[in-house]
C-alpha cells in the first residue's frame, strides 16, 4: 500500500510540473521582440569563416527583460556572442514569466 502511495504522489508531482512548464511556455510564442540586439561577430569566427545558428533558451520576465539564458545548440565559437546579445533583448510585457527558444544567426563574412 505504501508503494502505491509513493507512486501516486510521484505521478501527481510530475503532472503538476508538466502543467507549470506548459503554462510558462504557452504565452512565450506570442511575445513579440521589441528590441533585438545584433551579436558581435567573433574575430576567430571571421578568420575561420564560421557561420551558423545558435539556439538559445530564454526566460523572459513579465516586464519583457531577459532573466536568464541557456545555450541549446550551436557552434562553440559563436555561443558567447549569441548569449551576450540575447541578454540585451527586450520583449513585449506579459502577465507572467515565460520561456522560449530563439535563434541567433551568424553569416560567415
Looking at residue 52, what is its pLDDT? 95
Rg of the chain on CA atoms, in Å: 18
Rounded CA-CA distance 60/67 in Å is 5
H/E segment holding residue 57: strand 52-60
Domain at 86, CATH number? 3.30.2420.10
Give 108: exposed, middle or buried? Use CB within 10 Å, 0-12, 13-18, 19+.
exposed
How many structural domains compose the chain? 1
The pLDDT profile of the chain, 109 residues, written as one tens digit per residue, is 666 655 544 454 444 444 334 434 344 456 899 999 999 999 999 999 999 999 999 999 999 999 999 999 999 999 999 999 999 999 999 999 999 999 999 987 6
Decide if 100 contacts 55 (C-beta within 8 A). Answer: no
Which residues span the domain enclosing 12? 2-106
**This prediction's pTM:** 0.70
Grid cell for residue 43: 574575430
pLDDT at 14: 42
Q: What is the pLDDT of residue 109?
A: 60
- The whole-angstrom separation of Cα 34 and Cα 13 is 36
Measure the CA–CA gap between 23 and 100, rounded to whole angstroms: 12
Amino acid at each position: 500500500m505504501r508503494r502505491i502511495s509513493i507512486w501516486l504522489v510521484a505521478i501527481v508531482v510530475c503532472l503538476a510540473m508538466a502543467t507549470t512548464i506548459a503554462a510558462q511556455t504557452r504565452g512565450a510564442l506570442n511575445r513579440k521582440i521589441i528590441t533585438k540586439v545584433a551579436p558581435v561577430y567573433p574575430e576567430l569566427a571571421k578568420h575561420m569563416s564560421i557561420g551558423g545558428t545558435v539556439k538559445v533558451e530564454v526566460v523572459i520576465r513579465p516586464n519583457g527583460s531577459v532573466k536568464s539564458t541557456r545555450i541549446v545548440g550551436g557552434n562553440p565559437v559563436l555561443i558567447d556572442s549569441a548569449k551576450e546579445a540575447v541578454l540585451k533583448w527586450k520583449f513585449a510585457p506579459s502577465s507572467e514569466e515565460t520561456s522560449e527558444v530563439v535563434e541567433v544567426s551568424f553569416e560567415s563574412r
